[in-house]
Amino acid sequence: MNKYYLGIDLGSTTSKAVIIDENDQIIGRGITNTRANYKVAADIAREEAIYDARFTLLSNIIKTDMEAKPEFKKYMEDIRTVFQYQQFKRRMEILEEKLVKTSEAFPYPNKNEIIDRLKSILNVIRPQIRHEFVHGGLGSKNQFFRDIVSERYNLEVAKAGKEFYEPLMLAFDKSITPVENEMVQYNFKELILESMKVLEEKYKGLADEQEDGSKEDWYYAELNAVRNNYKNVELSLREHFELVAEQEIHIANMVGTGYGRALLPFPEECIKSEILCHAFGAHAVFPNTRTVLDIGGQDTKAIQVDSHGLVTSFHMNDRCAAGCGRYLGYIADEFGISLNELGPEAMSATKETTICSTCTVFAGAEVKELIHNGEERPNILAGLHKAIVQRAMSLIARSGGVKNEFTFTGGVARNQAVLKYVKQMVTESYGEVTMNIHTDSIFMGALGGAMFARRNVTAALPA
Amino acid sequence: MEAQKERSMILQKEMVSGLFNELGRAKETGRKVCYTFVPGNLSELIRTFDLLPVYPEINALQSAMRKKSAGYIKEAEKNAHSEDVCTYVKCDVGMMMKGNFGPTGEKIPEPDILLLSYTGCFTFLKWFETLKRLYPNAEVIMIHTPYQEAGKMTPEMTQYMVRQFREEVIPKMEKVTGIKYDEEKLKYHLNLAKEAQDWIAKIFETTKHKPSPIDAYFAGVYYIGPINIGFRGTPEAVEYYKALYEEIMERVRLGLGPITPEGEMKEEKYRLVVEGPPNWTSFREFWKLFYDMGAVIVASSYTKVGGVYDLGWRHDSTRPLESLSEYCMNCYTNLNIPQRIDLLSKCITEYSADGYVTNSIKSCNSFSAGQLGMMREIEDRLEIPVGFIESDLVDPRYFSYSNIKNRLESFFQMLEQRKKIVKTETV
Ligand code: SF4
């Protein structure tokens, strides 16, 4: 039997899981937002990683087809997002039920009207979300259940009129948390079958979509391939997916890490510091790494490693979360935009407004003042991003500076503007160094954990 | 420490309570009281003039251990001492404002002398300025101690200090106490001081043994108690350190590790050298973070604030005033940074430490200056894992248990990994 190893990184904002095989290759990744119930967050991340692993196994089986035929590639991409939709749908059903129940318990005199309103809102957003998953690739956008629903729900509530605003928001606040903290069991096989049905419907409908030159050529090429040949893919998948669905993903060992690691129901020897895991993961992916910068939800770490990937020293932010992911979250809230929009907007700045505040909360006040003075939003955002990186640079300096090669990890590494300033400031202070940023940067801690697990934590020995 | 009542502990207790008793009765007995600081403390001279010493820093740390510091600090802040002022000062000033009841609950008498014999920490000057305002009748005696900028004490520096002793310190002490300066008496105390120092050096060298019989930081702060509260240069101190040494050697003979508040440490997993003072408000918790992980501190800079004896320096009765001068200049925080690095490196090598930890103190400028640079240099020179934590002396608001725990956990795991690598590389 194949053996697999699991690493779970329970961060302050997101929980990540990575499954690797015996060659340290990542075969599954899972991510979810961290919530009050840590165990559920960890379990969801792990389940996600296991589904992802099954897809990886499936892709490996049909590898030659996937490489040779565009329809295979496209179909597999599509089925992943529709599969996510199926998961989403189940949790959404629970949420809907909960919302109605919560509203029924309200003491408001116009309770029935509220419930009617609620139901009509749900009727609007339900198909909306489905459409975005099936046709808009929402599944690949790294959004979590809570965010997906609340974004659309809030929009509809805003339209519903003043008298409904408070009760409808209250109903949501009261319902979302328990629903998030509940573990939902899915059946991989069932979800795949349902997803195939949805896809069939989608592709049939595609016959009507005409080439209008608004998209790139490869898009139409893939589209045509899939439109004409999806039946072949389906056939091939039906042949293999049962095998994959039933295959036991035997987790031989696991390691938990991250801010919430102590709360994981793992034996003590399976808990490892995130400093070591991040460094180990980054070093595994980029073996020449000597300095690692990790910007996570509530801490920023500057880590120095030796040629074995062993940590020689590290520095973390103390007492203040300015300069971490949470800072960005707070700023996004201040501006009323989503976290994912921050980076791109900052990139469109014409200059960087100076933000001198080192404190997250004070930065909010500074921003208000700047807006009041007519400063452009992108410029303010650029200044804020720069401020974060400045904080990180001082931590790096305290930890011993940047040595070649430099690897940047953590959720914030996905933000283009942060990346830009990191590159700029590292080069300014330390000259030309090789800088590594990986698409999987957010998973580095979990990857390091899984790698420790493979080496058997109690006898941890980096390769 | 109560768990095991060794003879040395009883002796120490007697010394401490004896001193506070005498302080409590100072008014009746007519003895004069001298407030002074631990670094550069002139115990032998103080005894020569039959003065009773009071150490505000010691009172502050005692207040912290008795969970009183938060209230005292608040009191001082209410009286316009800013948040950034050294918390020892605020704790001490707060205690005075609240009636000046010391660690034993007895009222501490007002100072007749404010003796500032070490000026390496600028805060000391300001601290005594504040005390002078509180106690306007006290005589202020200030000696300027030259910093070892060039990494050594020159004869000129010593002469400069001796002159201050002759012209400033001794005449003022004579004036306040009405006692004539008696050099023979000073020599007597200096001889006893040297003897105590010999024992102390031997005691802190026992950490060479594996397992180390003592913790040179968490227990070390108790061991340096007597010399830091004015007993250096007394027969009691000699007796104490001799007894302590014998007890420790007995542990070595039996192959025992250090004693912790929860009994004997079973397994010595990591040997560390620590830079920086401990946190006093959560002293037990702080210590526990180390001994729970099997970490023992084999040397610490903090136990050298009251005098550095590792490199062979001793009081010398044949050169009494020169000796006092050199003592002041030889305080740990009066050494320049390269000297401190050399001293710590020597400890790391000689006591075969696995790691080096800095506890940076939010409010102590004296200790915190240069700490990061020292850490980098030691890391590079000795290729040893280093760890950095932050806390405060006596302000409980700056002790974050989970932050410190998180960093120490990572640090210990770093050491663990390294040990395994070294092991496999040598196999
Ligand atoms: S700053 Fe440090 S050395 Fe100076 S008085 Fe305060 S605790 Fe003592």
Q: Which of B386, B388, B417 sits opposite A460 (nearest CB)?
A: B417
Q: Tens digits of per-residue pLDDT, A333-360? A: 888 888 888 899 999 999 998 887 667 7
| Angle ∠(A225,A226,A232) on CA atoms, nearest 5 | 100
How far is C-alpha A374 from the geometric centre of its chain's CA atoms? Answer: 34
Q: Tens digits of per-residue pLDDT, B360-400? A: 998 887 888 889 999 999 999 998 999 999 999 999 988 88
Structural contact between residues A314 and A301, judged by C-beta atoms closer than 8 angstroms? yes
| Confidence tier at B342 by pLDDT (50, 70, 90) | very high
Cβ neighbours of B375 in A, within 8 Å: 313
Confidence at residue A207, expressed as pLDDT on a 0 to 100 scale: 63
* Long-range contacts at A56-60 (CB < 8 A, ≥ 24 apart): A56/A27, A56/A28, A57/A27, A57/A244, A57/A247, A58/A237, A58/A240, A58/A241, A58/A244
Task: Fill in the DSSP letter of residue B102.
Answer: -
| Confidence tier at B427 by pLDDT (50, 70, 90) | low
Q: CB B376 to CB A274 under 8 A? A: no
CA–CA gap between residue B304 and residue B40 (Å, rounded)? 11
Q: Tens digits of per-residue pLDDT, B243-258? A: 999 999 999 999 999 9
Alpha-carbon gap: A67 to the closest alpha carbon of chain B (Å): 42
Residue A28 reports pLDDT greater than 80: yes
Chain B contact present for A313, CB below 8 A = yes
Pocket of ligand 1 (CB under 6 A): B 86, 88, 121, 123-124, 364-367, 393
Q: Which residue is listed with tokens 């696995």? A: B354
B104: CA distance to ligand 1 center in Å? 23
Which atom of ligand 1 is found nearest the CA of B122? 4
Written as one string, the DSSP assignment of B367-405 is HHTTHHHHHHHHHHHH---EEEEEE-SS-GGG--HHHHH
Average pLDDT, chain B: 93
Measured CA to CA in angstroms, residue A175 lies from A38, A358, A432 at distances of: 18, 36, 51
Q: Which residue is listed with tokens 């196994």? A: A57
Chain B contact present for A308, CB below 8 A = yes
Residue A329 reports pLDDT greater than 90: no
Confidence at residue A204, expressed as pLDDT on a 0 to 100 scale: 79
Residues 6+ apart with CB under 8 A from A163: A110
Measured CA to CA in angstroms, residue A278 lies from A153, A303, B369 at distances of: 37, 9, 30
CA–CA gap between residue A34 and residue A11 (Å, rounded)? 7
Interface of A with B in 394-433 (CB under 8 A): 398, 400
SS3 A310: coil
Q: Which residue is listed with tokens 């059946």? A: A187
B73: CA distance to ligand 1 center in Å? 15
Q: Which of B386, B403, B420 sits opposite A460 (nearest CB)?
A: B420
Structural contact between residues B302 and B85, judged by C-beta atoms closer than 8 angstroms? no
CA–CA gap between residue A296 and residue A321 (Å, rounded)? 10
For residue B204, how many C-alpha atoms fall within 13 Å in the half-sphere facing its CB?
Answer: 30
Cβ neighbours of A279 in B, within 8 Å: none
Residues 6+ apart with CB under 8 A from A250: A1, A2, A3, A4
Interface test with B, best of A314, A320, A395, A399 (most B CBs within 10 A): A314
CA–CA gap between residue B251 and residue B317 (Å, rounded)? 34
B410: CA distance to ligand 1 center in Å? 29
Cβ neighbours of A273 in B, within 8 Å: 406, 409-410, 413
Chain B contact present for A316, CB below 8 A = yes
Mean pLDDT of the A194-217 span:
76
Mean pLDDT of the B161-171 span:
97
| Confidence tier at A461 by pLDDT (50, 70, 90) | very low
Alpha-carbon gap: A267 to the closest alpha carbon of chain B (Å): 16
Q: Cβ of A164: how many Cβ atoms within 10 Å?
A: 21
CA–CA gap between residue B414 and residue B293 (Å, rounded)? 13
Q: Tens digits of per-residue pLDDT, A215-236? A: 677 767 777 777 777 788 888 8
Q: Which residue is listed with tokens 């590594």? A: A436
CA–CA gap between residue B54 and residue A187 (Å, rounded)? 75
| Confidence tier at B2 by pLDDT (50, 70, 90) | very low
Size of interface A-B (CB pairs under 8 A): 57
Residue B3 reports pLDDT greater than 50: no
Q: Tens digits of per-residue pLDDT, A404-457? A: 999 999 888 889 999 999 999 999 999 999 999 988 889 999 999 999 899 864
| Confidence tier at A458 by pLDDT (50, 70, 90) | very low
Give me the percent of chain B exceeding a pLDDT of 90.
83
Interface test with A, best of B354, B372, B386, B414 (most A CBs within 10 A): B414
Mean pLDDT of the B205-233 span:
96
Residue nearest to atom 8 of ligand 1 (CA): B364
Give me the percent of chain A exceeding a pLDDT of 70.
94
